[in-house]
């Protein structure tokens, strides 16, 4: 059964990897301290206002909420898409945040109890797509720029989701199952000019297929297709499905994986490849050559979920086991010089942010310029809470590092 590519979502997950070794408890223990929630920021020393102010901002809960997950950020970093829930809630509340102000999206008739899980918002922040629970089961939902919800017109007894949307909301993608929770699904594309288009599967494949990401201009889609195993794919109107390459393996094995998203400019595809039974975070550059991203001790699998326009920064999360949810995950940030590192460690060591009591579990999106990231983490009260990270322009990193060293020496 194909499900949204982001971590979480109605407790459903698509998995292909196998678990081989248990994590080390000391390495994966998450911090839970009863400290108050904090907003932390640091003004760069010797940096100047033009370089920007790095910040870590939790998105505040409203009364009755103790869970929030964000999955998408607009290209300018202003709007954030996600959902919230609480102990007495029966489903997820879909939200687009404008800064810290929230806009709760209206649900289609019959979806009020089940709610909706936001999978993505458009690059301009004006539209969104989701999977929602309605009277006939799970359905794809698309909100237009006026905030009106539209439900995928799938037949009763089927299962569908909208997973991706382009910059201006004129193009979206997802899947529809031919039977509810059945073994066969078709990838689906929607355009404002042509409506819904069932693009099916790779010719000859009979299994699950889904669109999980789309470029800003709506010309390039990514996702997966399945026959005996899952493979990462791209799709275009002119060329149809193309399987993304794997990496040489010894001994040779099946080419298994999935594409999860694509950079705004279409140059970089992110996802995972299965290597020796484990899903390894992967990105494909503009030539579609794959690069594997390192795992760290205590985390058996992972996936890359977003990249900047030039592919110089990739974000994602490692997971303790193939079945781990957000609480068993750890957010990472990758660049060519440093490889993949825990996002929280980088924010503390290179940007001077105080994240005491926080574990940054998942990072789900990054802006094309790499200056804003969004995700969710375990807060000091032990709740999973959404956050936004803003870092200075790339040139500020060196000055910040020097400033941090000088400050450390003065404190000795």
pLDDT in tens, 394-407: 544 433 333 333 33
Beta bridge mates, 243: 233
Percent of the chain residues past pLDDT 70, beyond the cut: 80
CA R_g for the chain: 20
Separation CA 374–CA 389 (nearest Å): 6
**Among the ranges given (28-32, 248-252, 394-398), the one the predictor scored with the smallest mean pLDDT:** 28-32
In a domain, 32, yes or no: no
CA distances (Å), 393 to each of 350, 364, 370, 371, in order? 13, 20, 8, 7
Name the pLDDT band for 115 (thresholds 50, 70, 90).
Answer: very high
Quick one: pLDDT at residue 79?
98
Residue 50 has pLDDT above 80, yes or no: no
Of 9-13, 173-177, 191-195, the one with minimum mean pLDDT is 9-13
In a domain, 170, yes or no: yes
Q: Identify whether 20 is part of a domain.
A: no
Tokens matching residue 111: 């979806």
Is 45 within the bounds of a domain?
A: no
Question: Could you tell me which residue, 135 or 346, shows the higher pLDDT?
Answer: 346
44-59 burial, b at 16+ Cβ within 10 Å, e below that, comes to beebeeebbebbbbbb
Whether 42 is covered by a domain: the verdict is no
Q: What was the pLDDT predicted at 226?
A: 92
400 domain residue, yes or no: yes
Structural domain count, the chain? 1
Higher pLDDT, 224 or 21: 224
Residue 46, pLDDT > 90, answer no
Q: Is the pLDDT of residue 227 over 50?
A: yes
Task: Decide if pLDDT at 74 tops 60.
Answer: yes
Please check whether residue 37 lies inside any domain of the structure: no
Residue 101 burial (CB count, 10 A): 7
pLDDT of residue 249: 66
Mapped onto helix, strand or coil, the DSSP state of residue 30 is: coil
410: confidence class by pLDDT, cuts 50, 70, 90: very low
Domain span at residue 331? 55-410
Residue 50 backbone phi and psi in degrees, to 5: -65, -20
Question: Is the predicted pLDDT of residue 412 greater than 90, yes or no?
Answer: no
What's the rounded mean pLDDT across residues 85-102? 94
CA–CA dist 73, 296 (Å, integer) = 27
DSSP symbols for 296-359: -TT--EEEEEEE-TTSS-EEEEEESSTT--GGGEEEEEEETTTEEEEHHHHHHHHH----TT-E
Predicted TM-score (pTM) of the model is: 0.84
Residue 211: pLDDT band by 50, 70, 90 thresholds? very high
Structure confidence at residue 15 (pLDDT): 35
> What's the whole-number mean pLDDT along residues 336-357?
96
Q: Which CATH number do you get for residue 338?
A: 2.130.10.10
Query: Whole-angstrom Cα distance, residue 129 to residue 123?
Result: 12
Q: Is residue 3 part of a domain?
A: no
The confidence band for 162, taking pLDDT boundaries of 50, 70 and 90, is very high
Report CA-CA distances (Å) from 186 to 141, 178, 223, 277, 279. Answer: 17, 7, 11, 26, 23
CA 13 to chain CA centroid, Å, is 13
Looking at 16-30, 204-218, 311-325, 356-370, which range is the least confident one?
Answer: 16-30
Q: What is the 3-state secondary structure (H, E, C) of 98-141?
A: ECCEEEECCCCCCCCCCEEEEEEECCCCCCEEEEEEECCEEEEE
Closest by alpha carbon to 370, among 356, 397, 391, 396? 391
What local confidence, expressed as pLDDT, does residue 27 receive? Answer: 37
- For residue 2, count other CB atoms closer than 10 A to its CB: 29
Given a contact cutoff of 8 angstroms between Cβ atoms, the answer to whether 152 and 174 are in contact is yes
Q: Give me the pLDDT at residue 182, please.
A: 66
Residue 183's pLDDT is: 73
């Amino acid at each position: 059964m194909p499900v949204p590519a982001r971590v979480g979502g109605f407790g459903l997950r698509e998995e292909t990897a196998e678990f081989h070794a248990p994590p080390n408890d000391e390495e994966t223990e998450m911090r839970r301290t009863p400290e108050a929630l904090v907003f932390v920021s640091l003004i760069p020393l010797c940096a100047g206002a033009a370089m920007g102010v790095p910040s870590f901002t939790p998105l505040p809960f409203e009364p009755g909420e103790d869970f929030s997950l964000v999955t998408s950020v607009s290209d300018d970093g202003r709007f954030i898409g996600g959902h919230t829930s609480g102990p007495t809630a029966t489903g997820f509340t879909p939200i687009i945040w404008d800064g810290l102000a929230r806009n709760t999206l209206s649900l289609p008739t019959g979806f009020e109890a089940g709610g909706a899980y936001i999978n993505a918002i458009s690059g301009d922040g004006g539209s969104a797509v989701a999977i929602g629970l309605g009277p006939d089961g799970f359905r794809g939902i698309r909100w237009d720029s006026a905030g009106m919800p539209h439900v995928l017109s799938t037949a009763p007894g089927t299962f569908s989701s909208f997973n991706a949307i382009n910059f201006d909301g004129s193009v979206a993608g997802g899947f529809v199952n031919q039977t509810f929770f059945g073994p066969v699904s078709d990838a689906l594309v929607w355009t404002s000019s042509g409506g819904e288009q069932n693009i099916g599967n790779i010719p000859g494949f009979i299994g699950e297929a889904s669109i999980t990401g789309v470029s800003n201009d709506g010309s390039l889609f990514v996702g997966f297709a399945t026959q005996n195993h899952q493979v990462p794919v791209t799709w275009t109107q002119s060329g149809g499905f193309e399987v993304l390459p794997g990496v040489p393996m010894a001994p040779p094995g099946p080419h298994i994986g999935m594409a999860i998203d694509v950079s705004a400019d279409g140059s970089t595809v992110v996802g995972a490849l299965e290597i020796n039974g484990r899903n390894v975070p992967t990105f494909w550059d503009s030539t579609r050559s794959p690069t594997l991203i390192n795992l760290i001790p205590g985390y058996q699998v992972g996936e890359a979920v977003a990249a900047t326009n030039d592919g110089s920064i990739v974000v994602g999360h490692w997971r303790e086991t193939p079945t781990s949810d957000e609480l068993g995950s750890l957010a990472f940030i990758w660049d060519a010089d440093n490889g993949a590192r825990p996002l929280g460690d980088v924010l503390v060591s290179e940007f001077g942010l105080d994240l005491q009591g926080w574990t940054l579990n998942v990072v789900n999106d990054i802006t094309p310029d790499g200056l804003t990231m969004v995700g969710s983490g375990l807060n000091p009260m032990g709740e999973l809470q959404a956050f936004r990270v803003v870092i200075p322009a790339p040139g500020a990193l060196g000055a910040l590092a020097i400033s941090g060293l000088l400050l450390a020496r003065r404190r000795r």
